[in-house]
Structure 1
Amino acid sequence: MTLLAPAVPQVPTRLGPWATGSRPPVLTGEELPRSKVQTGAAELRAVREADLHRALARLADTGTAVRVGRYSLVEPRQDPADRLAEAQAVIHRRRWTTSITTFDTTEVDAPALRPQLARLFAALDAGEIDGIVAVSQGDISPIYDTYAHTLTVLRARRGFLALARIETSI
């Protein structure tokens, strides 16, 4: 009789498909050294800004006005007005049009499970908006892989994310 070693679940190195029923990545509780966080934030910012410029160039070539959804993630019972106003300042400065203004609470942490963020992705798919404007990376996810995956999903849908603050500030 041969005994098999017990199966040990492996932590995925890459995020799989981002479905509404997917689970958020496992948190290890380990904190990255500050230099790695800053390097990662700079990479994420470069990717986000490249996606933004690519989308804006495409819209400019077609003569289409830029329509965005304004989004914020807030604590339960926190008034989202200040964060939404900060996002609105970006929209106003760039002369974009706000089609949808919405927010979620931190009761649901995983971006794939937030109903209002899903609403914005559906609006992006339907051609109602061209991108999402938020205050900071924290409105999407402070977790590098989750945030990077969200940027990839936006890029695949020909959308973009614009932030009022750079990635290193939450």
Structure 2
Amino acid sequence: MREAVLSRAVERLAATGTPVRVGRYTLVEPGQDPACRLAETQAVVDRLSWQAPITTFDSTGMTDPAIRPQMARLYAAICRNEIHGIVAVSRTDISTFSCVYADTLTAIQARGGFLALARHETAI
């Protein structure tokens, strides 16, 4: 489902000649350097020739995505049409819990956005 939403969004933007704009995001533990994980998101942006006006991370550890400050920033940017989606390294940047991950995908999609992952859906 995530990939279908992503594909439709990218196709729609391409049809209108609109560059894909994303927010690069990762979740790290407090004190952990996000640079390596953010580099993985940049590789996706570069490979697909997308634009990434926002690069951010939360250092809250595995908390509910709905209460993470930078995730909220990305939600708001999608609502304002500043970005079209979020690029994260893996689903663990969202949540290790399937139901929380699914709820977050629904929240992103309800705002008109998509989630792209640098790694396969099942990778950590």
| Paired residues for 1:86-105 under 5 Å | 86-105=40-59
| Paired residues for 1:23-62 under 5 Å | 47-62=1-16
Q: How well do the aligned residues superpose, as a CA RMSD in angstroms?
A: 1.0
Q: Using structure 1 for the length normalisation, give the TM-score.
A: 0.71
Distance 2:79 2:27 in 1: 21
Q: Which has the larger radius of gyration?
A: 1
Q: Which residue of 1 aligns with 2:120?
A: 166
Which of 78, 98, 101 matches 1:144?
98
Distance 1:146 1:124 in 2: 20
Q: Which residue of 2 aligns with 1:118?
A: 72
Q: Which residue of 1 aligns with 2:85?
A: 131
Q: Which residue of 2 aligns with 1:12?
A: none
Q: Which residue of 1 aligns with 2:109?
A: 155
- Asked if 1 retains the 8 angstrom alpha-carbon contact of 2:24 and 2:41, the reply is yes
Distance 1:125 1:158 in 2: 7
Shift of 1:107: 4.1
Deviations 1:3-37 (A, max 9, x none): xxxxxxxxxxxxxxxxxxxxxxxxxxxxxxxxxxx
Moved more, 53-62 or 99-108: 99-108
- Asked if 2 retains the 8 angstrom alpha-carbon contact of 1:68 and 1:97, the reply is yes
- % identical aligned pairs: 64
Q: Which has the higher strand share?
A: 2
Deviations 1:69-124 (A, max 9, x none): 00000011111000000110000000000110000013461000000000000000
Letter in 1 for 2:22: V
Runs of 4+ in structure 1 off by over 4 angstroms are: none
Q: Which residue of 1 aligns with 2:28?
A: 74
- Asked if 2 retains the 8 angstrom alpha-carbon contact of 1:108 and 1:114, the reply is no
Distance 2:87 2:67 in 1: 19
Unaligned runs of 5+ in 2: none
Distance 1:108 1:162 in 2: 19
Distance 1:156 1:80 in 2: 28
